[in-house]
Each structure stands twice: as C-alpha cells, then as structure tokens.
Structure 1
Amino acid sequence: MTAWADFEPVETGGGTTLRFTGALSLARLGDVATRLRGYTGAADRVDLQEVERIDTVGAWLIHEFASDRGIPIEGLSADQQRLLERVGEAADQPVALPARTHNPFTRIVAETGEAVVTAGQTLLGLLGFMGATVIAFWNVATHPRRFRFNATVHRFEVVGVSALGIIGLMSFLIGIVIAQQGAVQLRQFGAEVFTINLVGRITIRELGVLMTAIMVAGRSGSAFAAQIGTMKLTEEVDAMRTIGVSPMEALVVPRTLAAVLMMPLLAFYASLIAIIGGGLLCWVSLDIPPVTFVQRIREVVPITDLWVGLIKAPVFGAIIAIAGCFQGMLVEADAEQVGKRTTAAVVQAIFLVIVLDAFFAIFFSEIGWI
C-alpha cells in the first residue's frame, strides 16, 4: 500500500527545498493540503522525486503552491510533467460567465421568442412525423403481411374497451350538469322544455366528441408517449431498426389505427350516455318523462349533428395518436425526458384538438350544417 503524503523542508546548497513523499492522491493526502496552505517557511523549489503517485488533486495542490510562490518544480517524471502542464493550462484559462440581464422586459421578450421558435420547430417536426406516418400506412397497405394484427387488436382494447368506464361516468355527469344549468337559466323565461334541445344538440355535436378526445389524449396519448419513450431509453427502437423492422410500422401504425377507429365509437357512446344523464335529470327535476324526452330529441336534433361528431372523431383520434407517438420518439438518453415528453404529448394533443374543433365549427357553419 502506498504511503501517506507528507512534505518537509530540506536545506541544500541552493536554498530550501520542499521535499514531498508518499502518494499525492485524494485517498492518501490526509492533512497535507491544510498544512501546505498554512506553510509560512522558506521554500526555493519543490521536489517530487520521492512521490510514489500523483493524481489531479495532488497536481492541482502542487501547482497552486508553486505558482503562488513563483518557485520551480523538480524531480518530475514524464507523466507527472504532462499532468502538471494540463492542470496549469486549466488553472490559467479564464472562466466565461454568462452575461446576466437585469431588464425584465428584455427577459420576457427573449423567453417569448424562444417559446415561439420552439413551438415552430415542434410544429414542423410534427408535420414531418405525420408525413412519415402516412408513408408507413401506405407501406403496410401495399404489403399486408407487414400489418401487425395482434398489436392493433391489443390497442383497440387499451384505447377503447378499457376507457368505457371512465368516459361513460364523465359523460353521464356532464349530461346532468348541462341539463341542470340549462334548466336553471331557461326557467327564468318559462322555457324549461328547451333544456332537451340544449342537451341533445350540444352533446351530439360538440361536447360528446370533444370531451372524449380530451379524455383519450390524457389517457391513451400519454400512454403512447411513455411506452415509446421508454423503448427509446432501453434502445428497443434502435434494436428494431437493426433487425430491419420499421418502428413506424410496428409502433406508430397500430396505435394510430386503433385511435382512429375507436374514437367515433367512443364519441357516439359518450354522447348517448350524456343524453341519458340529461334525460334522467329532466325526468327528476322537470317532470319530463323519458318517452317525451326521446321523442323531443328526435325532433330537435338533426342527423347532420351526428355526422359532424362522427366526422371530427377520427381526425381527433389521429391527432392524439400521432402527437403521443411523436413525443415518445423524441425521448433521448435521459429518464427525465419520459415525463417531460409525456406531458408535452397531452398538452399538444389537447391544444390541437381544440384548434381543429374551432376550424370544424367554422367549416360546418359555412356549408350550412348548423
């Protein structure tokens, strides 16, 4: 085992030499650093000839002492000489500190600009990923043997069947809330019967599909991002590419197809449950029997409202699945990225769903489907 580091002043013909012995390493320094910094005696040179081993910490300590006193270092081997030169270069290099701005307005403008640039880059990347998804669908359509039936059916269960409970409960409560709030406001004008119109049209045309999309984004979109992100961390995606399997076809296509096909069914189911909830409240609170409620729904809700909801649903499903898979593919070699990308997938999907819903509202209004 190497000896503990130590030093002592030795008088020679040329003056006082500070001779070091032992191992100048972090594990064997002991109190040498404290003693050396407190040394006030004479020293004309530093001798390291009897040093058994020296590491970066020891080299830094010797360099600091010798440079402060302006004395030479002797007895160095070739390796020790190179180490001390590197330590000296690092010590002499100035540290550049980032300029700190104290102007709040400048900081706000800079952060806003960075956010805009990031949003633009993300949108551009998402558009590119959409194109890659379309190409993957085309490749699967032209080569049916590449289609992963079992994976797609499993996603049907995850996206659709497993979500029936939570979506049904949410829709039932939303139907009750819409009916109750609408009845309170319409009672002021003696028009409680129009609560049926409110419940029927708003749930079938808008809230049924919109709330379902938000629920699927929070539930399935986040799961897609987390699953693919974890596979990126464990290098499973790279392994798939190595063996000749396209991650777009194996991971993105089944999830996107499941979301596109299940969203219309879930939206119709949510609208139906919301109407049931609204009808139950009308029966209990407004004394409107279920038969009258159903008959009135058939009279006031045009079939175009149903088509509007069913047309929007698969588009929302595609956006949710693509956003989730896109954010999952962006995960790099950092476990923290999985949580960040999962959150970004949910936020991005919900934002795009609401923006598209606004465009759909304007479009259907322009073509007369009001």
Structure 2
Amino acid sequence: MPATVTTDQTDDGSLLRLGGGFSLADLTGLHATLMQAAALGPVTVDLTEVTRLDTAAAWAIAEAEKTAQAAGHSLRLVGATEGAAALIDTVRAALPDPDQQATPAFSLMVWLDGFGRSVAAGGVFLGQLLGILGVFIARLGRSLLHPSEFRLTSLVHHCQEVGLKAVPIVALMAFLIGVVLAFQGAAQLRQFGAEVFVVDLIAVSILRELGILLTAIIVAGRTASAFTAAIGSMKMREEIDAMRTLGIDPATALIVPRVLALLLMLPILGMIANAAGLLGGGLMSWIELGISPALFVSRLVENTGVSHLMVGMIKAPFFAIVIGIVGCHAGMQVGNNAESLGRQTSSAVVTAIFSVIVIDALFSIFFAQVGI
C-alpha cells in the first residue's frame, strides 16, 4: 500500500494522518511536511493506518520532534504500534546532540589566557621558521661542498619562475608608482616654486624605499603562494614521502633551489623596479613640469648619492630569505586535504607580506639611528 500523508487543522493544532508503508523513497516528502507543521504549532501524528515504518520515516518524525521542541511546540504520536514506537524511540536516542560550548564570560584571566596562547603559538611559529632557515643553510653548505648534489636545473627553473616571469608586473608597478610620485610631488611643490625638487623626491623615494619594498610585496604575493601550493600539493599526494623513500632529501630538492632563486633574482627585480620607477617619474616630470630628460638625469646624478641605492638594495637578500622560508614552511605544513592547502597558501601570503613590511620598518629605524 503506498504511503500517504493527510494534513488537517484542529483546535489543538495540526493533525497529520500517516497511512500505508513508508520507506526511504518517501523520506523527502514526509520530512518536509513534518518539519513545516512542527515549525508552525503543535502537531499530532496519527500512525493508526501505517502498515510499515522504516528508520528513514522514524528519523523524520524524530527530527520533527526536535524542531517542534526548539520552537516551543509539542509533537504527539498516537496510534503507533509497539514496534513502530520502539523504532522511533531507538532512532530518537541515536540522534546526535550538538556540542554545547558555553562562551566564557569576558574577564582578565580569559584575556590573559588567550593572549598567552597567542604568544606561545607565535614563538613556536618563529622557531619553525628558524628551523627551516637552518635546514636551508645546512643543505646549501652541503651542496657547496658536494657540487654533484646541487640541483642546477631546478635553480634555473625557479629563477625563471621567480624572476623572469615577474619582470612585467614589477616594471609596470614601479613605472606607475614613479608617475604617481611625480604627479603628486609636482602638485605640492608647485605651490612653493620648488618644482625642480620633484627629481630628488622621486629618486630618494624609489631608490631608498618604494622600489625594493613594493617589489618584495609583489614577489611575496605571487611567489610565497606558488611555493606553498607546489610543495603542499606534493605533500598531499605523498610525493615528499616517496622522495624520502628513494633517498632524496626534500630540503635539498625543494627548499634550497627555491630560496636560492629568490636570493639571486630579488635584487635584480629591485634594480628593474628602480629603473622603471625613475623612468615613470622622469616622463611625468617632463609632461607635468617641463623638466627635460637631460635636466632630470643631471639633477638625479648630482643630488642623489649611491648610498640611497645601497640602502634599498641591502634589504633585498633579507626580503628574499623571509619570503622563501615562509612559503616553503607553509607548504610543508599542508595536510591531506584541499582545505588545508588553501588555508596555508593564504596564510603564507599574509605572513610574507607582513614580514617584509616589518623588516623594512626595522631597517628604516636602524638607518635613521646610524644617520644613513
């Protein structure tokens, strides 16, 4: 006999008469009807005409009971056979209870506990980064002592990925930054009749800070994520475990070429960014202020010392090491699921960019203190 559900409205609420045999095929309609009635008010479920009741129908009734209780209503069963009542009781008892985690009230001790745990987690994270840095230095030293173990092909490949393919975006970014600096500087300096000093503004800003800093931020965004995704994917597919089984050191094969490629290419990208930024600034100065390219170059050479370029470029190796270590560390922390890969990739980008900015600030404070 096919399953039927009849709904009537009484003075005591909804009356649902169930009839026939219920199976998994009838679950969708039965569950929707029961849940809708349970959300509106008191419900009486008449099982007198039910000839067969399986666990799917019993689950729908138990879920409707929970919904009715949550809404402050009641769901009453009538006419159920002993077997049907026992089945519903069994399913009701087997329903999982959601974990009720009470939110602790805010207090000084709770705040101190959370702060202490955050500090401890940060210390562990820094220790792991230092561990990766130590492994890189050790494996690089071993590669220098045993050149046959050095993976030159992998280094060249990563130099291309990290450096050559980043040239267009780095050059465009620096060019536009130079244009913006010249335009904004001209608007401000024109008020004092000191338009010629826009050359000094552009040169010092780009050579000392913006050129290498923005280059490092772009590289951190595209390279740290690439390192994490590549190493994390290999870890998900257990390729790193396979490398260890074959006697291949993952640090030598994966970490050393990537970090070394960054060490080699980031200073070059910084120089390209400096040149593109000065070109953009010179072009905008010519258009906006009428400063000819010859005057721009002459002013640049006479009033801008090499120290400004050195201050900027000395940061490049530190930025490169931090970006590479953060990206490789995040890749090694990836678990066996895609969610972990996405989370670690996002974390690597944020951490790398934040670290670059912090290092740049520390260098600025240091150079200010020593008078450079």
SS in 1 for 2:247: coil
Per the alignment, residue 316 of structure 1 pairs with: 319
1:291 and 2:313 aligned: no
Of 234, 237, 241, which aligns to 1:231?
A: 234
Per the alignment, residue 255 of structure 2 pairs with: 252
Per the alignment, residue 64 of structure 1 pairs with: 90
1:243 and 2:246 aligned: yes
In structure 2, list runs of 5 or more residues that go unmatched.
1-22, 26-50, 62-76
Of 326, 331, 338, which aligns to 2:329?
A: 326
For each residue in 1:228-251, what CA deviation from the matched residue of structure 2 results, as whole angstroms up to 9, or x when unmatched? 001100011111111111111000
Give the whole-Å Cα distance in 2 for the aligned partners of 1:278 and 1:97: 61
> 1:64 Cα shift?
3.3
Give the whole-Å Cα distance in 2 for the aligned partners of 1:268 and 1:358: 20
Give the whole-Å Cα distance in 2 for the aligned partners of 1:170 and 1:260: 21
Per the alignment, residue 307 of structure 1 pairs with: 310
Q: State the AA in 2 paired with 1:150.
A: T
Give the whole-Å Cα distance in 2 for the aligned partners of 1:146 and 1:98: 56
Q: Specify whether residues 40 and 171 from structure 1 end up closer, same or farther in structure 2 by C-alpha distance, changes over 3 A only.
A: closer
Q: Specify whether residues 146 and 190 from structure 1 end up closer, same or farther in structure 2 by C-alpha distance, changes over 3 A only.
A: same
Give the whole-Å Cα distance in 2 for the aligned partners of 1:64 and 1:159: 61
Q: State the AA in 1 paired with 2:278.
A: I
Give the whole-Å Cα distance in 2 for the aligned partners of 1:323 and 1:40: 64
TM-score (norm 2): 0.74
Per the alignment, residue 158 of structure 2 pairs with: 155
> 1:321 Cα shift?
0.8
Of 103, 115, 131, which aligns to 1:101?
A: 103
> 1:141 Cα shift?
1.5
Q: Specify whether residues 320 and 32 from structure 1 end up closer, same or farther in structure 2 by C-alpha distance, changes over 3 A only.
A: closer
Per the alignment, residue 275 of structure 2 pairs with: 272
Per the alignment, residue 71 of structure 1 pairs with: none
> 1:99 Cα shift?
3.5
Q: Which region of structure 1 is more displaced relative to structure 2, 142-151 or 98-107?
A: 98-107
> 1:318 Cα shift?
1.2
Per the alignment, residue 174 of structure 2 pairs with: 171
Q: State the AA in 2 paired with 1:346.
A: V
TM-score (norm 1): 0.75
Give the whole-Å Cα distance in 1 for the aligned partners of 2:315 and 2:234: 31
> 1:341 Cα shift?
0.7
Q: Specify whether residues 64 and 267 from structure 1 end up closer, same or farther in structure 2 by C-alpha distance, changes over 3 A only.
A: same
Per the alignment, residue 10 of structure 1 pairs with: none
> 1:320 Cα shift?
0.6
Q: State the AA in 2 paired with 1:100.
A: A
SS in 2 for 1:99: coil
Give the whole-Å Cα distance in 1 for the aligned partners of 2:196 and 2:304: 14
Q: State the AA in 2 paired with 1:152.
A: L
Give the whole-Å Cα distance in 2 for the aligned partners of 1:151 and 1:348: 25
Of 145, 151, 157, which aligns to 2:148?
A: 145
> 1:40 Cα shift?
5.4
Per the alignment, residue 20 of structure 1 pairs with: none
Of 207, 221, 226, which aligns to 2:224?
A: 221
In structure 1, list runs of 5 or more residues that go unmatched.
1-24, 47-57, 69-89
Q: State the AA in 1 paired with 2:240.
A: V
Give the whole-Å Cα distance in 1 for the aligned partners of 2:52 and 2:332: 50
Give the whole-Å Cα distance in 2 for the aligned partners of 1:159 and 1:269: 14
Give the whole-Å Cα distance in 1 for the aligned partners of 2:333 and 2:254: 14
Per the alignment, residue 339 of structure 1 pairs with: 342
> 1:136 Cα shift?
1.5
Per the alignment, residue 53 of structure 2 pairs with: 31
Give the whole-Å Cα distance in 2 for the aligned partners of 1:38 and 1:209: 78
> 1:110 Cα shift?
6.0
Give the whole-Å Cα distance in 2 for the aligned partners of 1:104 and 1:367: 45
Q: Specify whether residues 40 and 180 from structure 1 end up closer, same or farther in structure 2 by C-alpha distance, changes over 3 A only.
A: closer
> 1:114 Cα shift?
4.6
For each residue in 1:327-352, what CA deviation from the matched residue of structure 2 results, as whole angstroms up to 9, or x when unmatched? 00000111111111111111111111
> 1:105 Cα shift?
6.2
Q: State the AA in 2 paired with 1:232.
A: K
> 1:61 Cα shift?
3.8
> 1:363 Cα shift?
2.1
Q: Specify whether residues 251 and 61 from structure 1 end up closer, same or farther in structure 2 by C-alpha distance, changes over 3 A only.
A: same
Bigger CA radius of gyration: 1
Give the whole-Å Cα distance in 1 for the aligned partners of 2:157 and 2:274: 25
For each residue in 1:269-325, what CA deviation from the matched residue of structure 2 results, as whole angstroms up to 9, or x when unmatched? 101100000000000000000000001011121111111122111211111111100
Cα RMSD after superposing both structures: 3.0
1:360 and 2:360 aligned: no
Q: State the AA in 1 paired with 2:101.
A: A
SS in 2 for 1:145: helix
> 1:215 Cα shift?
0.4
Of 121, 124, 135, which aligns to 1:121?
A: 124
SS in 2 for 1:188: helix
> 1:96 Cα shift?
9.0
Q: Percent identity?
A: 45
